[in-house]
Amino acid sequence: MFDLFGLDYFVDGSKRIFWLYLVSALMIALLFFWKQRAILKMQFSKEVLWHPSARLDYLYFGVMGIVKTLLLLPLLVGVNEVALWMVMAIQEVFGYVERIRVDRIWLITGYTTMLFVFNDLTRYWLHRWMHTSSLLWRFHRVHHSAEVLNPMTFYRVHPIENLLFGFRYALTTGAITALFIYFFGAGIGVVEIFGANMIVFIFMLIGANLRHSHIPLHYPKRIEKWLISPYQHQLHHTTRYSRYNYGSTLAVWDWWFGSLLYSKDLTYIDEPLRFGLLDEQPTHSLVGAFFNPFYKGIKL
């Protein structure tokens, strides 16, 4: 039961809302916005945390725990199966190669880094596709329909989108793993902290949860070129700039593929942003979120 409703997410380092990441996000918010009490007060106000949109986020999270366990997991092709299938296929097509001997420390570092980088890249493209394909947008708009943001909004994602991202993960991780086994053999491994890829861990720790919040933390321009700041993702949640900043952690994909928007490029940065969709009165109902994408309009 504990697992079923997603409560284990708070104690699992591979999850976004792991308690430590929430605590560190809070610390960072306090650190940078101590002088701007209004911003902090706003985030913790009833209007934000008990808004119908936020209440849907919480309900959604609880229900999705069950949906994922009972419906999605059995449907997903496992990453292990993909990796195994691919390594056998690569070897059969390209033949045997003499193993490249690399010091274990470099092998693990390389594999950990490649997993992070390529997963971040495929996330970028799938996210972008969720916006550019009108069919996929139907599902992704569930996430964008949130009018207020809090860390749980991260889980406000339609099951179909979850499924697509699951396949994306399996394919990306499976391919990287297969290639590493093919060229380097059994010495590979992931450097993990609390069960999360070490690089992912670091980025989660430095405020990933502020992405879904009203805390306008942004980085200097030269950093926002490389790393998506929380504010840059908040911009993505506005109707006006939703075609920018698709990135999860690295900003380079947005930069290279022309969808990057810097926080400083906006003249009215001090104004609070307005999140959500324009075209309709949001219902913030669970049933609506699950079923509307199958028959409702698709305008942004």
Binding stretches for another protein (CB under 8 A): 14-16, 20, 23-24, 27-28, 30-31, 34, 64, 68, 72-73, 76, 78-80, 83-84, 87-88, 91-93, 95-96, 99, 101, 104, 108, 123, 127, 130, 140, 143, 154-155, 157, 161-162, 165-166, 169-170, 173, 177, 181, 185-196, 198, 201, 205, 211, 233, 248
Choose among 232, 240, 239: nearest CA to 210: 232
Angle at 130 between CA 125 and CA 135, to 5 degrees: 140
- Of the pair 191, 271, the CB lying nearest another protein is at 191
Question: In 10 A of CB 242, how many CB atoms?
Answer: 19
- Of the pair 92, 271, the CB lying nearest another protein is at 92
How far lies 259's CA from each of 86, 101, 143, 234, in Å? 32, 39, 19, 15
- Of the pair 46, 141, the CB lying nearest another protein is at 141
- Of the pair 123, 267, the CB lying nearest another protein is at 123
Q: Smallest gap, in angstroms, from Cβ of residue 71 to another protein?
A: 10
- Of the pair 1, 186, the CB lying nearest another protein is at 186
Q: Smallest gap, in angstroms, from Cβ of residue 142 to another protein?
A: 9
Q: Smallest gap, in angstroms, from Cβ of residue 113 to another protein?
A: 14
How far lies 5's CA from each of 2, 63, 291, in Å? 6, 7, 21
Q: Smallest gap, in angstroms, from Cβ of residue 225 to another protein?
A: 19
Q: Smallest gap, in angstroms, from Cβ of residue 96 to another protein?
A: 6
